[in-house]
């Protein structure tokens, strides 16, 4: 058996590409090979040339529809023979529980909170994302460093410090941002959870004592931070206020183009 990651996926000549009909879920091309690299210094001892899988990121605010779309995307990928692995914020085995506990008490400074999240990210990068990519899997990230960076930035942290910190991250093959207005987000979060989240409402920032007002003000700031990053980090923005199937169609078309060259 060949070593995971030893088989590089060769780019097919254009003339042999088969057009994918995603609606009928008939056939998907092989992922198009592209060089993987880190934003900055990366992690030590990683041979990025061996990372033959693909990293797809879905970004968007709480309730923007990321999980809804990821479920469909994973079904589609797996239905077409591509193994998919999922990661997300606060999902590391190393610190996710501790992070949850720390948030309950509001005991961390912006810096220590930021480093806690960075640790959660680094653990998943090292133990899930990189091994999966070297085994040729498609990794779907439910949020990535951009949410963490935007959260830090709206809390006034030094942008260079934050950018350097996340220089450890791999550059994804595609980043999608689901754009949904704060008022729509409130409706969705209330119908899903019957409440708004303290942190996603930016209540730690003291923007307003009213959680709804704080949520709107915080989400507007987050969106500005995302828009500032858009060109540098090459987000593809999708209108997340469309019907779920319309969002999905846009997403799959873009994934097909970006990942499979279809």
Ligand X SMILES: Nc1ncnc2c1ncn2[C@@H]1O[C@H](COP(=O)(O)OP(=O)(O)OP(=O)(O)O)[C@@H](O)[C@H]1O
Beta pairing partners, 142: 58, 88
Nearer to Mg ion, 32 or 70 (CB): 70
CB contact at 8 A, 60 and 240 = yes
Owner of token pair 């199937």 = 245
Q: Least distance to ligand X from the beta carbon of 86, Å?
A: 12
Interaction partner, residue 119 (Mg ion, ligand X, none; CB < 5-8 Å by kind): none
Q: Least distance to ligand X from the beta carbon of 238, Å?
A: 10
Single out the residue of 47, 56, 38, 48 nearest to residue 167, CA to CA: 38
Nearer to ligand X, 65 or 136 (CB): 65
Nearer to Mg ion, 147 or 214 (CB): 147
Rounded Cα distance, 37 and 59, in Å: 20
Interaction partner, residue 188 (ligand X, Mg ion, none; CB < 5-8 Å by kind): ligand X
Q: Least distance to Mg ion from the beta carbon of 69, Å?
A: 10
Q: Least distance to Mg ion from the beta carbon of 139, Å?
A: 17
Tell me the chain's radius of gyration from C-alpha atoms.
Answer: 19
Q: Does 5 bind ligand X (CB under 6 A)?
A: no
Nearer to Mg ion, 61 or 135 (CB): 61
Residues 116-135, interacting with ligand X (CB under 6 A)? none
Q: Least distance to Mg ion from the beta carbon of 20, Å?
A: 27
Residues 57-96, interacting with ligand X (CB under 6 A)? 60, 62-68
- Secondary element (H or E) of residue 85: strand 84-88
Q: Least distance to ligand X from the beta carbon of 189, Å?
A: 7
Helix ranges (H only) for 139-198 are 145-154, 159-165, 182-193
- Residue 218: how many other CB atoms lie within 10 Å: 25
Rounded Cα distance, 176 and 255, in Å: 9
Rounded Cα distance, 190 and 52, in Å: 41
Nearer to ligand X, 36 or 69 (CB): 69
* Binding-residue total with ligand X (CB under 6 A): 15
Nearer to ligand X, 173 or 200 (CB): 200
Rounded Cα distance, 187 and 196, in Å: 10
Q: Which three-class secondary structure state does DSSP give residue 221?
A: helix
Instruction: Kindly list the residues in this chain that would bind Mg ion in the complex (CB under 5 A).
Output: 67
Q: Least distance to ligand X from the beta carbon of 13, Å?
A: 38
Residues 231-260, interacting with ligand X (CB under 6 A)? 240, 243-244, 247
3-state secondary structure 21-67: CCCCCCCCCCCCCCCCCECCCCCCCCCHHHCCCEEEEEEECCCCCHH
Contact string (CB under 6 A) for ligand X, positions 187-226, x = contact:
-x--xx----------------------------------
Rounded Cα distance, 73 and 138, in Å: 11
What are the residues binding ligand X (CB under 6 A)? Answer: 60, 62-68, 188, 191-192, 240, 243-244, 247
């Amino acid at each position: 058996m060949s070593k995971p990651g030893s088989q590089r996926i060769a780019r097919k000549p254009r003339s042999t590409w088969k057009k994918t009909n995603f609606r009928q879920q008939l056939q998907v091309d092989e992922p198009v090979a592209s060089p993987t690299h880190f934003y900055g210094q990366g992690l030590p001892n990683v041979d990025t040339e061996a990372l033959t899988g693909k990293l797809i990121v879905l970004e968007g605010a709480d309730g923007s529809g990321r999980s809804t779309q990821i479920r469909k995307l994973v079904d589609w990928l797996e239905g077409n023979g591509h193994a998919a692995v999922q990661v997300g914020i606060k999902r590391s085995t190393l610190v996710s529980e501790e992070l949850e506990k720390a948030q309950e008490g509001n005991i961390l400074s912006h810096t220590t909170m930021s480093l806690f999240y960075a640790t959660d990210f680094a653990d998943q990068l090292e133990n899930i994302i990189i091994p999966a990519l070297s085994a040729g899997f498609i990794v779907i990230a439910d949020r990535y460093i951009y949410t963490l960076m935007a959260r830090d930035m709206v809390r006034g942290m030094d942008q260079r410090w934050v950018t350097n910190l996340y220089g450890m991250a791999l550059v994804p093959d595609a980043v999608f941002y689901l754009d949904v207005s704060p008022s729509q987000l409130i409706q969705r979060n209330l119908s899903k959870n019957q409440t708004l989240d303290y942190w996603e409402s930016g209540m730690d920032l003291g923007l307003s004592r009213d959680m709804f007002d704080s949520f709107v003000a915080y989400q507007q700031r987050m969106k500005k931070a995302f828009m500032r990053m858009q060109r540098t980090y090459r987000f593809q923005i999708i209108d997340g206020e469309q019907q779920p199937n319309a969002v999905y169609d846009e997403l799959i078309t873009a994934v097909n183009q970006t990942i499979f060259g279809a």
